[in-house]
């Protein structure tokens, strides 16, 4: 009986001390979970305008048995276009572009016919192209192709003066272009790009009554260009949005 009473007293004393011990413990601090930062979705849909600079290099410009001054030339120009993003990492677009070409005279001296020089004075290059690319985040890798136009005049110069270009058969201002590039969307409205573009305008073939020694000579009119550009994007398709 005495053991039972002593045990009961001990339990009562222990129960009374538990609240006091709990009161002595410091309150557990509450830590708020870090805010969720959504991953951005980059929207390429919309119109854009911009400018570019770079270099142009003649391709297979040579009439056989000739020498020419087809060194690289500076170019600069403008572009305008529209892109549409779909499926959801693909981008399709259309772009119009014009480039002014510096140091634009190409003179070809015919070694087989001394005293005869072919002169091509190129003012610029233009194109209307479609492009398709794959985007991951702010980067877009694309290929392009379409119609090209070369703004130039040409003549044959002899010891007796200029000969009208009508003496050159097969000369074309119209052609095609293909290329590829990488564009990076570094703010909501601004993007930068680098691209390579090849232009082909067919052949120039000399026919009678051209001077003796150059009749039948042909040269392919093609060019390689490398450009760096900057675009301002209107984002009519919506700004860069957040994924929740």
pLDDT at position 123 over 80: yes
Report which of residues 163 and 73 the model is more confident about: 73
Q: Are 222 and 170 in contact (CB under 8 A)?
A: no
pLDDT at position 164 over 90: no
pLDDT at position 71 over 90: no
Looking at residue 24, its pLDDT comes to 53
Choose the weakest-confidence range: 96-100, 154-158, 171-175, 239-243.
Answer: 239-243
Query: Per residue in 137-151, pLDDT tens?
Result: 899 999 999 999 998
Give the pLDDT band of residue 59 (cuts 50, 70, 90): confident
Residue by residue, what is the 3-state secondary structure of the chain?
CHHHHHHHHHHHHHHHHHHHHHHHCCCCCCCCCCCCCCCEECCCCEEEEEEEEEEEEECCCCCCCEEECCCCEEEEEEEEEEEEEECCCEEEEEEEEEEEECCCEEEEEECCCCCCEEEEEEEEEEEEEEEEEEEECCEEEEEEEEEEEEEEEEEEEECCEEECHHHEECCCCEEEEEEEEEEEECCCCEEEEEEEEEEEEEEEEECCCCCCCCCCCEEEEEEEEEEEEEEEECCCCCCCEECC
Report which of residues 173 and 39 the model is more confident about: 173
Q: Cα–Cα distance between 177 and 144 in angstroms, integer?
A: 8
Q: Are 190 and 148 in contact (CB under 8 A)?
A: no
Residue whose pair of structure tokens reads 């930068």 in the numeric block: 192
Looking at residue 4, its pLDDT comes to 47
Looking at residue 13, its pLDDT comes to 52
CA dist 195 to 16, 99, 116, 143, 232, Å?
82, 14, 37, 9, 17
Compute the mean pLDDT over every residue in the chain, rounded to the nearest whole number: 79
Looking at residue 9, its pLDDT comes to 45
Looking at residue 180, its pLDDT comes to 98
Looking at residue 114, its pLDDT comes to 78
Query: Per residue in 165-210, pLDDT tens?
Result: 445 545 568 999 999 999 999 998 999 999 999 999 988 777 777 7
Q: How many CB atoms lie within 10 A of CB 207?
A: 13
Report which of residues 27 and 94 the model is more confident about: 94
The pTM (predicted TM-score) of the whole model is 0.76
């Amino acid at each position: 009986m005495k053991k039972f009473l002593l045990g009961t007293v001990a339990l009562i004393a222990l129960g009374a001390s538990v609240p006091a011990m709990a009161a002595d413990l410091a309150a557990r601090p509450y830590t708020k979970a870090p805010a969720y930062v959504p991953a951005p979705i980059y929207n390429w849909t919309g119109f854009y305008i911009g400018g570019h600079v770079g270099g142009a290099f003649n391709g297979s410009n040579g009439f056989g048995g000739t020498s020419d001054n087809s060194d690289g030339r500076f170019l600069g120009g403008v572009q305008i276009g529209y892109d549409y993003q779909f499926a959801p990492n693909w981008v399709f677009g259309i772009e119009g572009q014009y480039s002014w070409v510096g140091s634009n005279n190409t003179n070809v001296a015919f070694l087989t016919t001394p005293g005869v020089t072919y002169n091509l004075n190129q003012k610029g290059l233009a194109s209307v192209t479609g492009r398709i690319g794959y985007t991951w985040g702010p980067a877009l890798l694309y290929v392009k192709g379409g119609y090209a136009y070369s703004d130039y005049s040409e003549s044959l110069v002899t010891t007796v003066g200029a000969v009208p270009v009508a003496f050159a058969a097969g000369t074309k201002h119209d052609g095609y272009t293909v290329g590829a590039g990488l564009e990076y969307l570094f703010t909501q409205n601004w993007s930068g790009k680098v691209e390579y573009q090849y232009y082909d305008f067919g052949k120039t073939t000399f026919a009678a009554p051209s001077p003796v020694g150059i009749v039948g000579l042909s040269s392919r009119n093609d060019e390689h260009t490398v450009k760096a550009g900057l675009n301002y994007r209107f984002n009519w398709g919506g700004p860069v949005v957040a994924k929740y």
